[in-house]
């Protein structure tokens, strides 16, 4: 017997549900062999590869995501670089002017997928 109503995480290619990403916060997910940071503000979700342009290491996970501040920026746990949600640009810190690599996502029926 097959089921018609699988959980969103089990749908082919799904990263997670929108509601699994805290509003104003982040969540890290696996996309194949890559670690991806998802950040959310309201209904908007952005994705970035979890690799800091400063030392090419992960930003450092905290509680399943990376550190965020006021729903505006992500912070690398290693040397406190700040990256904007909307474009991944580093606006303060040792790699100011660099940016996180985007990982485009799309939302369908409350589920986040790679774009």
Q: Which residues bind to ligand FES, rule: CB under 6 A?
A: 52, 54-55, 57, 76, 78-79, 81, 93-94
In the bound complex, what is the minimum distance in angstroms from residue 56's beta carbon to ligand FES? 8
CB of 12 to ligand FES, least distance (A): 33
Q: Least distance (Å) from ligand FES to the CB of residue 85? A: 17
Question: What does the alpha-carbon distance between residue 42 and residue 5 come to, in Å, rounded to a whole number?
Answer: 26
57 or 115, CB closer to ligand FES? 57
Residues 52, 59 contacting (CB under 8 angstroms): yes
In what side-by-side order are the strands of the sheet with 105-108? 16-17, 111-114, 105-108
């Amino acid at each position: 017997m097959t089921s018609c109503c699988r959980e969103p995480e089990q749908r082919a290619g799904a990263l997670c549900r929108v509601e699994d990403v805290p509003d104003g916060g982040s969540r890290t997910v696996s996309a194949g062999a890559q670690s991806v940071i998802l950040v959310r503000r309201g209904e908007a979700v952005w994705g970035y590869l979890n690799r800091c342009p400063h030392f090419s290491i992960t930003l450092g996970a905290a509680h399943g995501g990376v550190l965020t501040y006021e729903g505006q920026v992500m912070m690398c746990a290693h040397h406190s670089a700040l990256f904007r949600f909307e474009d991944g640009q580093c606006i303060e810190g040792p790699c100011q002017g660099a940016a996180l690599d985007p990982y485009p996502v799309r939302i369908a029926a409350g589920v986040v997928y790679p774009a």
